[in-house]
Amino acid sequence: MIDVAIIPARGGSKRLPNKNLRFIGGKPLIAWTVEAALNSNCFNRVVVSTDDELIAKAASDAGAEVPFMRPKEFASDKATAMDVAIHAVDYLGTPDLFGFLQPTSPLRTSAHLKEATSKFLTSGTDALISVSNGKPSSWLFEIDTKGELSKLLNGDVASHSQHAQMVCTPNGAIYLYRTEIFLSYRTFFPPKTMAYEMSYIDSIDIDDLDDFQLVECIVDNGLRLAQTR
């Protein structure tokens, strides 16, 4: 097992106010990640790092520990996820292994966590990060100041995607680490980092209202069940 799952959930969210407390499928967003972590039986502890009393209560009601309130300097717009993770790891006594599970990935389930944890523990790797498959690398463009497109990488845009070099993107749902390595490199992507692949739908990360409404639609239409965590 992994010593602790750390769930970062600050109160301030400018693009989608109070998003961690908004209800999807009959429960607040924060509860989805807490329940998935608890039901996976992969973690000795499930801890929420927050600066918000209402989020702390919702997390506790869902079964998480809230052993501290996050200091203001780690809850501002300038604070990074790295700052939050290091603060929590230090407060919790520097456990050997930890997970970092963002609450904005509600469709990541206990099954995903079990698979990812098994892969992490049996591989001997120093870190594991969940990803979703993207478009072929030859399809990547940038837009210049004139609004014109230019290709970033070589390759035939017209080629069939199954024959092209595929790329992936970290989806923010699962981060697993050997703490010593994490603190040594102070990056979410240390040298020996393994990928855990997830589908597009399960990878949805809620940043704004469009993301929230998309997940809400998925759950309300039974494509993913709130009870199946």
For the chain, give the secondary structure using H, E and C. CEEEEEEECCCCCCCCCCHHHCEECCEEHHHHHHHHHHHHCCEEEEEEEECCHHHHHHHHHHCCECCCECCHHHCCCCCCHHHHHHHHHHHCCCCCEEEECCCCCCCCCHHHHHHHHHHHHHHCCCEEEEEEEEEEHHHCEEECCCCCEEECCCCCCCCCHHHCCEEEEEEEEEEEEEHHHHHHHCCCCCCCEEEEEECCCCCCCCCCHHHHHHHHHHHHCCCCCCCCC
Query: Which residue is associated with the tokens 């052993």?
Result: 67
Percentage of the chain lying above the pLDDT 90 cut: 73
Residue 153 lies in a domain: no
Residue 140 lies in a domain: no
Q: Is 168 in contact with 133 (CB distance < 8 Å)?
A: yes
Residue 141 lies in a domain: no
| pLDDT value, residue 105 | 97
160 pLDDT more than 60: no
86 pLDDT more than 80: yes
Instruction: Determine how many CB atoms are found less than 10 A away from the CB of residue 187.
Output: 12
Average pLDDT over residues 56-64: 97
CATH of the domain at 58: 3.90.550.10
| pLDDT value, residue 13 | 79
For residue 162, name the pLDDT band (cuts at 50, 70, 90): low
Q: Which of 28, 196, 206 is nearest to 112 (CA)?
A: 196
pLDDT in tens, 91-105: 999 999 999 999 999
Distance CA(188)–CA(167), nearest Å, equals 19
Number of domains in the chain: 1
Distance CA(128)–CA(178), nearest Å, equals 9
pLDDT in tens, 168-194: 889 999 999 999 999 999 999 999 999
Residue 63 lies in a domain: yes
Residue 71 lies in a domain: yes
1 pLDDT more than 60: yes
Residue 204 lies in a domain: yes
Domain range for 12: 2-133+168-220
User: Residue 24 is encoded by which pair of tokens?
Assistant: 């999807």
For residue 133, name the pLDDT band (cuts at 50, 70, 90): confident
| pLDDT value, residue 4 | 98
Residue 107 lies in a domain: yes
Range scoring the smallest mean pLDDT among 24-33, 55-64, 91-100, 162-171: 162-171
Residue 148 lies in a domain: no
Average pLDDT over residues 12-20: 86
139 pLDDT more than 80: no
Backbone angles phi, psi at 39, to 5 degrees: -70, -20
6 pLDDT more than 80: yes
Q: How far apart are the first and last CA of the chain?
A: 19
Q: Crossing angle, helix 110-123 and helix 29-40, to 10 degrees?
A: 50
Do you know the residue count of the chain?
A: 229
User: Residue 10 is encoded by which pair of tokens?
Assistant: 């600050």
Instruction: Determine how many CB atoms are found less than 10 A away from the CB of residue 80.
Output: 9
Percentage of the chain lying above the pLDDT 70 cut: 90
Backbone angles phi, psi at 147, to 5 degrees: 85, 10
Give the pairing of strands 23-24 and 43-49: unpaired
